[in-house]
Chains A and B, each alone.
Chain A
């Protein structure tokens, strides 16, 4: 066995690209394991876990290359493939006198007209603030995709932007659509009269796709970040986004979508909404409040559109394992919230890493405990690795574990399509889903997508139903379908 651990300085590559590079290196014949990653604490632990001794003083600005191969030839080939893959990623000046690639947002934004340009920042969370400030300085509407941005920095950033009247979306904002252009994770939806302000990424995607399915288009969808309606942030970007949408003549109806917000901030938003010329509908998730599908129906009604229930396709018939619990494995935080709200009405408390009530928090390690739902997009699970909508491997691992767990009764999953997301998520899920169904564990999937999404909604749904899953285009309906499959324990009958 031949192993090597290299530390390269002066190289930075984003985590998604590194994941792709790692895969290419690991695919070399004779390579047993490969880790190509920035030397964050998490990744250093992974290297140690692979049995490597990591030299002292290595920091997160350095690139870690750890390869475990069966022989020298394989190792050499792996390193060659690595250099090839890394080299492809480096933008280089072309031609005599061509300017080198911009190294900062400020440099890239120089000379751009703020009316026709926006900025999309997805740098690591501890650095994203400065990059966003650059974009605000240039007057650009700014979407901060990065997560793990400290809340104090979020407040500072939004206050900084406020003085210039610039809209900051995010941080931790996965989704925005501006004038038909999708930023981050965005579905391809028709243009239309609805403007969305979303303190929730997947919630916004779900609403857009439900509306699109009902023939209703969206002008803009402004993702303000999951914390915007929290006490700390106080709706700074929501209020700004409301004004921008109110000023847009193409917007006939504004919808505010949010995970369960702070009541005081929700009230402030309500008061501001009442003063706008454009009607505003609040779709704020919470106990006893309408789910996203009900909100979409309400939007359709307000605009005089017909509404029919979102499509669904039955999977393999069957019931849940007797006495088993509901297990929800989500990539979308708001979808997970919504599922817990819907399921909680029937099942009571649900354990989670993003629990509705802190008392229901899962212990570190996130082992399932009774009815359990996990948001794999939570900050703690994405530090130093791509979002589960890009890389579903962590969730697939868990899916297999739940299949093997006799206490799992029914599985509930989401699959989110659109720009930015995995180009073929069903491909990775079909096998494990089939195994689960074969093991007597029914699987219900909510697919969030539009007909025009690059992944091909029909093909994705078809692949999942073929694997035996029941597929719904409404998350609330999927959750209720999963609940219907739960087989109560003998003693409860």
Chain B
């Protein structure tokens, strides 16, 4: 035993002061009482599987690959039949569905020709007449905002060969009046039809001839270029386009179509988000199902509920009413217009990007309501609630420290710090579209429920 040089102290400041008096360095914990059932917390903290299980979960997340291998219609990839839809977040029925989710389902009905007009679509959806929906996550995929997927929509197909998993996500439709924000007007349906008719097949050809595209490698670069991968994807989008551009030009498709497709992709800074999301899903899915692990593998919202899953509890959802984001509003919209938090896009935070890596994106921090020092503090705070760091996603301004990775339920409850999520805001009323963007956190109840379940499984 050696004379200690440093003492970590938690609790009475007086005892730490006494160490100062002996010229011993202290690292003082700004301790606060944990949330949740103390007995459950003790059971989980004392579970001997926890530490190795979390190390295994982290290692799996860091090892996961994400290559774009194909672009195909959802009907083909998922065997989705007419009248069956997927959506973001945990499961819910029509009665509890939020405005944007209802709007997106209406839009999908119109797109699939299952209803002649929105009123008819709503009637059939409300009655469950030949229609059904379930979470994207139940099929290994992710959907942004309302996340509604119908059979004719095209999806990116990504592959993790290390763990043998596939994930997918729809093609990004752009901003404003779009289906994922619950809009379903004629321009929304027209755009989706063009995406299925022109954009999807063009991307498919390009990926098949130039691919696979290493999405994880692009994410690693975008993080160093000021994108946090959730609310800012500008560098990622351009890098992705750069990968496919020669193949698009070489495709032999009419140059008008190619130009329109390129204009559409490069004119939409969020196009790459729909590739970051399934890449993150592959990363978090690699960590799923490890008994004893307290690592969060899914954070997701359906506009009504926020739901999480943890590695040690498999596919069980822990849900609570979703919070409403705080942030900046487009045009004349205001807080009263915003729907509660919605979308599978919090998978980016689950994987350590987005709000978790806010420090890397000073260009957006003001947009999501913060200052640069706030952003630096936020990411550094996130290290307190994660199992480790992802060296592949290095944040330059933090001396290339890796993205905080592997949110730990016990650390969240003990620190009182909730994962920071950067997000878009959908209009509360079906058909509105996007009203703003901002910051949100999950409700703490998701984590206290997960803790109880983890404790029951010890």
**Chain A residues within 8 Å of B, Cβ to Cβ:** 10, 12, 14-17, 38, 60-61, 89-91, 93, 96-97, 99-110, 112, 115-124, 126-131, 133-135, 137-138, 140-141, 145-146, 153, 156-157, 160, 163, 178-184, 186, 220, 244-245, 248, 386, 390, 419-420, 454
Complex CA gap A97/B381 in Å reads 11
Report, nearest first, the 9 A-B pairs whose CB atoms are least far apart.
A122-B11, A179-B3, A419-B18, A103-B415, A12-B32, A101-B30, A107-B384, A99-B380, A61-B33
Q: Does residue B5 face the partner (Cβ distance < 8 Å to A)?
A: yes
- Which residue of B4, B7, B16 has the most chain A CB atoms within 10 A of its CB atom? B4
Task: From A112, A163, A419, give the contact of B48 (CB < 8 A).
Answer: A163
Q: Does residue B6 face the partner (Cβ distance < 8 Å to A)?
A: yes
Task: From A61, A89, A156, A245, give the contact of B32 (CB < 8 A).
Answer: A61
Q: How far is the CB of B399 from chain A (nearest CB, A)?
A: 10
Supplied contacts A104-B31, A178-B3, A178-B4, 17 more A-B pairs, CB within 8 Å: A10-B32, A10-B416, A15-B12, A89-B13, A90-B30, A102-B29, A102-B384, A107-B29, A117-B6, A117-B8, A119-B10, A146-B11, A183-B7, A183-B15, A244-B1, A386-B12, A420-B18
Task: From B29, B35, B377, B380, give the contact of A108 (CB < 8 A).
Answer: B29
Residues 293-316 (chain B) with a chain A CB within 8 angstroms? none
Complex CA gap A12/B2 in Å reads 33
**A103 and B31 in contact (CB under 8 A), knowing A126-B38, A130-B410, A183-B7?**
yes
Among residues of A, the one whose C-beta sits closest to the C-beta of B31 is A123
Residues 1-47 (chain B) with a chain A CB within 8 angstroms? 1-16, 18-19, 21-22, 24, 27-35, 38, 41-42, 45-46
**Chain B residues within 8 Å of A, Cβ to Cβ:** 1-16, 18-19, 21-22, 24, 27-35, 38, 41-42, 45-46, 48, 51, 373, 376-377, 380-381, 383-384, 397-398, 410-411, 414-417
- Which residue of B5, B14, B416 has the most chain A CB atoms within 10 A of its CB atom? B14
Complex CA gap A182/B24 in Å reads 10
**A17 and B14 in contact (CB under 8 A), knowing A105-B8, A108-B8?**
yes
Complex CA gap A128/B13 in Å reads 15
Contact B12 A129 (CB under 8 A): no
Task: From B16, B414, B417, give the contact of A130 (CB < 8 A).
Answer: B414
Q: How far is the CB of A42 from chain B (nearest CB, A)?
A: 15
Among residues of B, the one whose C-beta sits closest to the C-beta of A153 is B42
Contact A109 B8 (CB under 8 A): yes
Contact A112 B31 (CB under 8 A): no
Chain B residues closer than 8 Å to A109, beta-carbon distance: 8, 27
| Subset of 24 A-B contacts with CB under 8 Å | A14-B11, A14-B12, A61-B32, A93-B377, A103-B31, A104-B10, A105-B29, A108-B10, A116-B4, A116-B5, A117-B7, A119-B7, A120-B7, A120-B9, A122-B12, A123-B11, A130-B42, A131-B10, A131-B29, A141-B1, A178-B1, A178-B3, A183-B19, A419-B19
**A102 and B30 in contact (CB under 8 A), knowing A116-B2, A181-B22, A182-B22?**
yes
Q: How far is the CB of B151 from chain A (nearest CB, A)?
A: 47
Chain B residues closer than 8 Å to A89, beta-carbon distance: 13
Chain A residues closer than 8 Å to B13, beta-carbon distance: 14, 16-17, 89
Q: How far is the CB of A320 from chain B (nearest CB, A)?
A: 36
**A117 and B4 in contact (CB under 8 A), knowing A100-B377, A107-B384?**
yes
Contact B7 A390 (CB under 8 A): no
- Which residue of B33, B373, B383 has the most chain A CB atoms within 10 A of its CB atom? B33
Complex CA gap A146/B15 in Å reads 12
Complex CA gap A102/B381 in Å reads 8
Chain A residues closer than 8 Å to B376, beta-carbon distance: 96-97
Q: How far is the CB of A354 from chain B (nearest CB, A)?
A: 23
Chain B residues closer than 8 Å to A14, beta-carbon distance: 11-13, 31
Contact B8 A122 (CB under 8 A): no
Among residues of B, the one whose C-beta sits closest to the C-beta of A112 is B6
Task: From A126, A134, A145, give the contact of B15 (CB < 8 A).
Answer: A145
Contact A180 B3 (CB under 8 A): yes
Task: Summarize A's interface: helix, strand, loop or mixed.
Answer: mixed
Complex CA gap A1/B415 in Å reads 40
Complex CA gap A146/B11 in Å reads 9
Task: From A91, A128, A248, A419, give the contact of B28 (CB < 8 A).
Answer: A91
Chain B residues closer than 8 Å to A102, beta-carbon distance: 27-30, 384
Q: How far is the CB of A392 from chain B (nearest CB, A)?
A: 14
Chain B residues closer than 8 Å to A156, beta-carbon distance: 42, 46
Chain A residues closer than 8 Å to B30, beta-carbon distance: 90-91, 100-103
Complex CA gap A464/B33 in Å reads 40
Complex CA gap A390/B14 in Å reads 9
Complex CA gap A137/B16 in Å reads 21
Contact A181 B12 (CB under 8 A): no
Chain B residues closer than 8 Å to A10, beta-carbon distance: 32, 416
Task: From B14, B32, B46, give the contact of A129 (CB < 8 A).
Answer: B46
Complex CA gap A90/B383 in Å reads 20
Q: How far is the CB of B182 from chain A (nearest CB, A)?
A: 34
Complex CA gap A60/B32 in Å reads 11
Q: How far is the CB of A197 from chain B (nearest CB, A)?
A: 12
Q: How far is the CB of B4 from chain A (nearest CB, A)?
A: 5
Chain A residues closer than 8 Å to B411, beta-carbon distance: 104, 106-107
Q: How far is the CB of A21 from chain B (nearest CB, A)?
A: 11
Complex CA gap A171/B98 in Å reads 50
Q: How far is the CB of A171 from chain B (nearest CB, A)?
A: 12
**A181 and B29 in contact (CB under 8 A), knowing A119-B7, A123-B10, A133-B45?**
no
**A179 and B18 in contact (CB under 8 A), knowing A61-B33, A102-B384, A140-B8?**
no
Q: How far is the CB of A326 from chain B (nearest CB, A)?
A: 32
Complex CA gap A78/B24 in Å reads 35
Contact B1 A97 (CB under 8 A): no
Complex CA gap A127/B30 in Å reads 14
Chain B residues closer than 8 Å to A60, beta-carbon distance: 33
**A130 and B45 in contact (CB under 8 A), knowing A16-B12, A420-B14?**
yes
- Which residue of A96, A105, A135, A454 has the most chain B CB atoms within 10 A of its CB atom? A105
Contact A117 B5 (CB under 8 A): yes
Chain A residues closer than 8 Å to B28, beta-carbon distance: 91, 101-102, 108
Q: How far is the CB of B160 from chain A (nearest CB, A)?
A: 29
Chain A residues closer than 8 Å to B34, beta-carbon distance: 127, 130
Complex CA gap A420/B18 in Å reads 6
Q: How far is the CB of A183 from chain B (nearest CB, A)?
A: 7
Contact B15 A104 (CB under 8 A): no
Chain B residues closer than 8 Å to A38, beta-carbon distance: 33
Q: How far is the CB of B380 from chain A (nearest CB, A)?
A: 4
Q: How far is the CB of B397 from chain A (nearest CB, A)?
A: 7
Chain A residues closer than 8 Å to B10, beta-carbon distance: 104-105, 108, 119-123, 131
Complex CA gap A160/B10 in Å reads 20
Contact B11 A121 (CB under 8 A): yes
Contact A12 B33 (CB under 8 A): yes
Chain A residues closer than 8 Å to B5, beta-carbon distance: 116-117
Among residues of A, the one whose C-beta sits closest to the C-beta of B373 is A96
Complex CA gap A186/B19 in Å reads 10
Contact B42 A120 (CB under 8 A): no
Chain A residues closer than 8 Å to B6, beta-carbon distance: 112, 116-118
